[in-house]
C-alpha cells in the first residue's frame, strides 16, 4: 500500500482508539456533524464504540472517521458529509451501541438549506432555473417567489440535501446547508445487554493483529488510499 506522509498520519490517528472511555476523559476539539439519528453530543461520545460499522454501512460514502486533528475526544467517531447523505438510514440500523437513535425518517432534521442570491443563476438573472424546487417536491420546502426566485421555508426544510446535490451551481456554493440546525436526540432510557454466553450465534475469536489489520484497511478505504 502506497502511503503519503499526510495520509499515513490520518490513518494512524484514526486508529488511536481507547474504547468508549476516551470520550469521557479526553478534552479538546469541537462538535462535528454526526450521522442521522445521533443522540446529544456528550451521550454520543460516551456511547460510540468507534467500531466504524456505520461507516462500513454507508453506501454513498457520506461518513468518514475523525482523526487526531479533529480533537482527541472525537478520534475514531463518524463524521457526516451532508452533501453526500441520502438519508438511507443504514448507518443507524448498523449502530450497535445506541449512539445513533433508531428514529423514523420523518423525525430527522439534518439542517436547513440556504440559497446564496449572489451565486444562484436565477437571482443573477442569467437564466431561469428551478432545479432546487423540483428536487424538493416531496417536502415543498422550496417555492418560487414571483414564479422565478427560489425561497426556502425553514420550517419545512429538513436538510435532506436533495436540492444541494442537484443544483447546477453546486461547486460555486449557490446552495449550502446550515448544519447548526441538525436535530439531536435524547439517549434511550433503557438498554438491554445480552451476555455473550446467552447468544445463539457463534462469536468468532479475533486476534489483535487481525483486528488492527482490518481497521487499517477500512480506514485506508475511507480516506481514499485504497480502493
CATH number where 137 lies = 3.30.70.20
198, part of any domain = no
Do 217 and 169 belong together in one domain?
no
Do 83 and 115 belong together in one domain?
no
189, part of any domain = no
Do 98 and 123 belong together in one domain?
no
**Residue 181: per-residue pLDDT:** 77
**Residue 215: per-residue pLDDT:** 72
Strand 78-80 vs strand 63-65: parallel, antiparallel, or unpaired? Answer: antiparallel
Do 210 and 120 belong together in one domain?
no
Query: For the chain, what is the domain count?
Result: 2
Report, in angstroms and rounded to the nearest whole number, the Rg of the chain calculated over CA atoms: 20
Do 151 and 128 belong together in one domain?
yes
Do 36 and 70 belong together in one domain?
yes
Residue 203 contacts by C-beta under 8 Å, 6 or more apart in sequence? Answer: 196
Containing domain of residue 160, as a range? Answer: 111-180
Confirm if 150 and 128 have CB atoms less than 8 A apart.
no
**Residue 30: per-residue pLDDT:** 63
pLDDT digits (tens, 9 = 90+) for 129-147: 999 999 999 899 999 999 9
Flag whether the pTM goes above 0.95.
no
Which residue's C-alpha cell is 454520543? 44
DSSP the chain: ----HHHHHHHHHHT---TTHHHHH----------TTBB-HHHHHHH-----HHHHH-TT--EEE--GGG-GGGTT-EEE-TTT-----HHHHH-SSSSB----GGG----EEEE-TTT-TTTTTSS---HHHHHTTTT--EEEETTTEEEE-TTT-----HHHHH-TTGGGTSEEEEGGG---BPPPS------GGG-SS------HHHHHHHHHHHHHHHTTS--
Beta bridge partners of 144: 150
**Residue 140: per-residue pLDDT:** 94
193, part of any domain = no
**Residue 224: per-residue pLDDT:** 58
Low pLDDT (below 50) residues in the chain: 1-3, 5-11, 13-28, 194, 196, 198-199
190, part of any domain = no
188, part of any domain = no
199, part of any domain = no
117, part of any domain = yes
Distance CA 181, CA 206 (A): 41
Closest to 174 in 3D by CA, of 139, 122, 133, 136: 122
Do 96 and 19 belong together in one domain?
yes
Do 46 and 136 belong together in one domain?
no
Which residue's C-alpha cell is 486533528? 69
Which whole-number Å values give the CA distances from 196 to 19, 146, 199, in the listed order? 18, 63, 5
**Residue 209: per-residue pLDDT:** 81
Do 23 and 74 belong together in one domain?
yes
Do 19 and 47 belong together in one domain?
yes
Do 212 and 141 belong together in one domain?
no
**Residue 177: per-residue pLDDT:** 92
Do 100 and 210 belong together in one domain?
yes
Q: How many CA atoms lie within 13 A of 222 on its CB side?
A: 31
196, part of any domain = no
Amino acid at each position: 500500500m502506497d502511503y503519503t506522509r499526510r495520509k499515513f498520519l490520518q490513518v494512524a490517528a484514526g486508529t488511536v482508539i481507547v474504547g468508549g472511555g476516551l470520550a469521557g476523559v479526553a478534552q479538546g476539539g469541537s462538535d462535528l456533524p454526526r450521522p442521522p439519528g445521533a443522540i446529544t453530543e456528550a451521550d454520543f461520545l460516551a456511547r460510540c464504540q468507534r467500531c466504524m460499522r456505520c461507516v462500513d454501512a454507508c453506501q454513498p460514502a457520506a461518513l468518514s472517521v475523525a482523526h487526531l486533528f479533529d480533537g482527541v475526544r472525537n478520534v475514531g467517531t463518524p463524521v457526516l458529509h451532508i452533501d453526500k447523505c441520502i438519508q438511507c438510514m443504514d448507518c443507524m440500523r448498523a449502530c450497535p451501541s445506541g449512539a445513533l437513535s433508531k428514529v423514523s425518517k420523518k423525525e430527522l432534521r439534518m439542517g436547513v438549506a440556504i440559497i446564496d442570491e449572489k451565486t444562484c443563476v436565477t437571482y443573477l438573472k442569467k437564466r431561469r432555473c428551478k432545479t432546487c424546487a423540483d428536487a424538493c417536491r416531496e417536502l415543498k420546502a422550496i417555492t418560487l417567489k414571483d414564479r422565478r426566485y427560489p425561497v426556502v421555508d425553514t420550517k419545512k426544510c429538513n436538510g435532506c440535501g436533495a436540492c444541494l446535490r442537484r443544483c447546477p451551481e453546486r461547486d460555486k456554493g449557490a446552495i449550502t446547508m446550515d448544519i447548526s440546525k441538525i436535530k439531536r436526540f435524547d439517549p434511550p432510557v433503557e438498554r438491554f445487554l445480552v451476555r455473550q454466553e446467552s447468544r445463539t450465534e457463534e462469536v468468532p475469536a479475533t486476534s489483535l493483529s487481525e483486528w488492527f489489520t482490518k481497521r487499517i484497511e477500512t480506514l485506508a478505504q475511507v480516506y481514499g488510499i485504497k480502493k
